[in-house]
Structure 1
Amino acid sequence: MSLIPCFVSLIDELDKPILIYVPNETENELNDVLKYNVLSNISLDYFESPLITWTSLDSKPLLKSIFQLEGVSVFGMLIKQTGLKIVIGFEQNALNGGDDELKQIGQIFESVRKIYVRVKCNPLVTNGDEISTVESLERKFDELFISTEVEL
């Protein structure tokens, strides 16, 4: 069974949210969507903390387990070259903490990073057109997380 995140946040170098994506958003209650927005904002404090440099997971040095709150385990990754912050939350009850699971979480982060780079480098999307960028990201994330035929 594939691990599906409850939310994916992309935050730029100025701490401005690019996108907070919630798979199956229509199925989630508004309170859950708001909770994921708050968790994304809380994660920014961890990226600015000196503690972030030593809390990395051994197998994935860029991937950090940031915090657990409200039944959600939140992981983060900072792409230092661009300042991009990727924050992904998973339901705590869906995690068992095994090595295979950490590998799968790392693959999800890598997939999200690759999608962001592909959309950002797409010559058909102009740099100033944030709406096209967000729509393209949402469409690609839908393909990754909602389509049952896509394997990580």
Structure 2
Amino acid sequence: MHDVVTHRVSLMVLQATALEVSEGRDAVTIGQQIGATGRAALAELRSLVEILRYDDDAPLAPQPGLADLDTLIAEFRRSGVAVTLEQTEPAEQHPSLLVEHTAYRFVREALTNVHKHAPGAPTRVRVEQASHLLRLSVRNGRGRPSTSPGRSGPTSS
């Protein structure tokens, strides 16, 4: 349950850190990103609270999957990760929703690690689908040394 909101709040911390380092450059743009991420986190938190309030008739939102990778990658690009996405055409038989959600979380965790431990590294996410097969790879080049050792970024569990 915490995983849904944790990602957004961590992204806000990351964006706030970028704002601090920017020394006023791009402050409006970064501030808008923080606001948008905060609003998305609040919406997700409201959904979670709704689910906890009600028993069986709570609306359940679908978990993110392969179709949501473009949005995820766009978020990381806005936070400074130079990432590209390569996807093969989907196979006729789609992976299960659980597999898709796991793949999404895998990519999110990998990009979080790139951002934390290899800032500025060019990164490539590749998704290959074939009959009864889903292959993911996330590869990054060399990043620049981190300027703030205690910096935190988007996290997931």
> Is TM > 0.5 for Structure 1 vs Structure 2?
no
Write 1 or 2 for the structure with the bigger share of strand.
1
Structure showing greater radius of gyration is: 2
TM-score by length of structure 1 reads 0.34
TM-score by length of structure 2 reads 0.33
